């Protein structure tokens, strides 16, 4: 880890087709001021790229990994097997099984190698970013303040009565 350089979040996804969902994680991190990078890495189509990425996470100053994948979604689990950093898995809403396949593939990890599994699709991508920000906030007072402000705004935006 580089000293005095804030830890960043790495957003990875199995395919370009996942970006529609995963860009919501980017948008959320931007709102909070968390540094991030975004990459396409497929456990099945680019296994060497996956290994290379996972082997260099700590050297590259990454604090949390958000991994989105759909269908037979092995990416988050494989990354968690290769790095000790926290991995948050976002099940992409697949066309064939509406993301149930992705959810179960990501959630049903064997004991010993955890992946924090979020909800299917857009909600999962947004919540993964919020969770990643709260992990980074443990050692970053600016991010802690920004995250608290965002939550306060959200609370204020909820009307007391429906229109
Ligand atoms: C997974 O296969 C990806 O994460 C994606 O959700 C799914 C389908 O990929 P494409 O065929 O759209 O590239 O690896």
Q: Is ligand 1 within 6 A of the CB of residue 101? A: no
The answer to whether the CB of 71 is under 6 A from ligand 1 is: yes
Q: How far is the CA of 72 from the centre of ligand 1 (A)?
A: 9
Measure the CA–CA gap between 102 and 11, rounded to whole angstroms.
Answer: 17
- Which value, to the nearest 10 degrees, does the dihedral of the CA atoms of residues 113, 116, 5, 13 take? 90
What is residue 62's predicted lDDT score, i.e. its pLDDT?
Answer: 98
- pTM here? 0.96
Q: What is the pLDDT of residue 57?
A: 97
Q: Each residue's pLDDT tens digit in the chain (163 positions)?
A: 455 688 999 999 999 999 999 999 999 999 999 999 999 999 999 999 999 999 999 999 999 999 999 999 999 999 999 999 999 999 999 999 999 999 999 999 999 999 999 999 999 999 999 999 999 999 999 999 999 999 999 999 999 999 9
Q: Which one of 13, 16, 18, 42 would you pick to mutate in the ligand 1 pocket, going by the greatest count of ligand atoms within 8 A of its CB?
A: 18
Q: What is the DSSP string of 103-124?
A: HHHHH-PPTTS--EE--STHHH
Strands (E), 14-157: 36-40, 62-69, 87-91, 116-117
pLDDT for res 81: 98
CB 26 less than 6 A from any atom of ligand 1: no
Q: Which protein residue has the closest C-alpha to ligand 1 atom 6? A: 70
- CA–centroid distance, residue 102 to ligand 1 (Å): 10
């Amino acid at each position: 880890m580089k000293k005095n350089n804030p830890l960043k979040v790495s957003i990875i996804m199995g395919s370009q087709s996942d970006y529609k969902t995963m860009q919501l994680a980017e948008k959320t991190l931007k709102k909070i001021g968390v540094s991030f990078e975004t990459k396409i890495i497929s456990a099945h189509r680019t296994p060497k790229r996956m290994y290379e990425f996972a082997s260099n996470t700590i050297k590259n100053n990454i604090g949390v990994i958000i991994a989105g994948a759909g269908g037979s979604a092995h990416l988050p689990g494989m990354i968690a097997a290769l790095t000790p950093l926290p991995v948050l898995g976002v099940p992409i809403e697949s066309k064939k099984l509406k993301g149930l396949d992705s959810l179960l593939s990501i959630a049903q990890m064997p004991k010993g190698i955890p992946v924090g599994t979020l909800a299917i699709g857009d909600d999962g991508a947004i919540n993964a970013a919020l969770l990643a920000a709260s992990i980074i906030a443990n050692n970053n007072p600016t991010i802690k303040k920004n995250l608290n402000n965002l939550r306060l705004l959200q609370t204020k935006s909820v009307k007391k009565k429906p229109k």
